[in-house]
Amino acid sequence: MSNAPEQPQLYLITPPELDLQSFPDVLGKILDAHATSCVRLALSTRDEDDLARAADTLRVVTDAREVALVIADHTLLAERLGLDGVHLSDAARSVRHARKVLGPDAIVGSYCGGSRHDGMGAGEAGADYVAFGPVQATALDDGEVAEGDLFQWWSEVIEVPCVAEGQLDLAMIAALSSKTDFFGIGNEIWSQEDPLAALNTLWSAVS
């Protein structure tokens, strides 16, 4: 993932559990309909075989469309499977290690909640992008929110691309589209009966 053009790009985040019989077709239809920069495999399981099976299955879909596939947190598994990179959930703490393991050409991203400090630390450690979120209040985790002024400041001051993710809706996408490089969209569409239709609606707010 490199610096995005002025219009933000789509970054898809898989649901935490996948039906490998049906999900690849759904993902393929979405990738065919919307230009996508990256897909993050973000499963809740820690079973190596299940993760590897899912990664191999989805890579067939993403490779055919020249879309990057990264895995959440499992740096060594990303190396073993030959994935495009890793998305880290611990801000800057693992970025240097991931870069050393995966090499200079791999994608290394870092989730930084709503913290400028963590974002800057991740960027200085060599992250290719940082992700901020959720963008609206939630009862999950510690309740931290990535405010709009964080994205505004980041876009004006920092060159490292950023991803806005978590609790996105039409209004938030419209408000942030001039302030972020990527929108990380996941549960917003997978929780709907027709994920592609849900994404079409959400993406209509991108300007």
CATH topology (fold) of 9-202? TIM Barrel (3.20.20)
pLDDT of 1 above 80: no
Q: How confident is the model at residue 4 (pLDDT cuts 50, 70, 90)?
A: very low
How far from 141 is each of 113, 138, 182, 194, CA to CA, in Å? Answer: 10, 8, 23, 28
Q: What are phi and psi of 175, to 5 degrees?
A: -70, -30
Query: Could you read off the pLDDT of 10-66 as tens digits, one per residue?
Result: 999 999 999 999 999 999 999 999 999 999 999 999 999 999 999 999 999 999 999
Do 9 and 43 form a contact (C-beta atoms < 8 A)?
no
Mean predicted confidence (pLDDT) in 183-190: 98
| Predicted TM-score (pTM) of this structure | 0.95
Q: What is the pLDDT of residues 102-149, one digit of tens each?
A: 999 999 999 999 999 999 999 999 999 999 999 998 766 667 899 999
Which pairs count as long-range contacts for 2-8, CB under 8 Å and 24+ apart, including other chains?
2/128, 2/161, 3/159, 3/161, 3/181, 4/37, 4/161, 4/181, 4/182, 6/178, 7/177, 7/206, 7/207, 8/164, 8/176, 8/177, 8/180, 8/181, 8/182, 8/183, 8/206
Q: What is the pLDDT of residue 144?
A: 84
Q: How far apart are CA 113 and CA 135, in angstroms?
A: 9
- Cβ of 123: how many Cβ atoms within 10 Å? 22
